[in-house]
Amino acid sequence: MNKQFEKDLRSENGFCSKEVWCDEKALFTDDSLIIAGHHVMDKWQSNYMRCLAKISSKYGGRILEVGYGMGIAAEFVEMNKNVEQHVIIECHPDVVKKCRSIYRKKIEEAKVVIYEDFWENVTSNFPEGYFDGILFDTYPLSQKEIRKNHFFFFVEAYRLLRKGGVLTYYSDETENFSEIHMAKLREAGFESIDKKMVKVDPPESCAYWESNSILAPIVKK
């Protein structure tokens, strides 16, 4: 890649463009997933991921998971015997490779289906009401995505869920929904909006989370 172009792509306050994100190597350690110098996922979130997986797969059937990361939530989704199909969308090639190696047999059987792409390029191919549950946990690649990424997805999640289906997502809130989150969920069409507070124990060195709780949304169509 041309050096100046590469610099421009990286220039937004340390965030990456989609192209640079996918070009960077993903580093998996025992405790973390690091891409382009960002702590994308950490093992201390396991308890929270268990809760998100439980919410999204409560009704079994067909589950959509956006963002595979360390595969922690995916493993919990797979433990639910009522899940008939687990569709995963993940953009990073190394992360997809890892997922493919773990679920090789289930992928052959189409129990697990993985799309290597950004959700923005994939979900319009699914018909309305196709999913019983959705778990959305991506990582913001730009400043713009930090607050807005969920919001873009809410409208699409409403379309993708069957009536009575449930959406959950990584929330950047500790105890209560912010007004803007509530407003955006309602704007998308959701009326049944509930939550669970999950206890977490981030290490002192964690740069992005200090609280000992994270809100797990339970949003039904």
Q: What residues contact 141, with CB distance under 8 A and at least 6 apart?
A: 15, 16, 17, 18, 21
Does residue 73 belong to the site contacting ligand SAM (CB under 6 A)? yes
By the rule CB under 6 A, 214 interacts with ligand SAM: no
Tell me which residues in 88-107 interact with ligand SAM (CB under 6 A). Answer: 89-92, 95
Strand partners, 32: 42
Q: Which of residues 116-135 bind ligand SAM (CB under 6 A)?
A: 118-120
Task: Select from 9, 16, 36, 49 the one that contacts ligand SAM (CB under 6 A).
Answer: 49
N-to-C CA span, the chain = 44
Candidates 78-86, 136-144, 174-182, 202-210; binding stretch for ligand SAM (CB under 6 A): 136-144
CB atoms within 10 A of CB 211: 11
Q: Does 87 bind ligand SAM (CB under 6 A)?
A: no
Which of 38, 59, 62, 71 touches ligand SAM (CB under 6 A)? Answer: 71
Cβ-count burial 29-60 (b if 16+ within 10 Å, e if not): eeeebbbbebbbbbeebeebbbbbbbbbbbbe
Q: Does 112 bind ligand SAM (CB under 6 A)?
A: no
Q: How many residues does the chain have?
A: 221
Q: Examine residue 154 and tell whether it contacts ligand SAM (CB under 6 A).
A: no
CA distance 82 to 79: 9
**Does 64 contact ligand SAM by CB under 6 A?**
no
Q: Which residue is nearest to ligand SAM (CB)?
A: 69
As a whole number of angstroms, the distance between CA 184 and CA 71 comes to: 28
Q: Is residue 41 close enough to count as binding ligand SAM by CB under 6 A?
A: yes
Binding site for ligand SAM (CB under 6 A): 40-41, 49, 66-73, 89-92, 95, 118-120, 137-139, 141
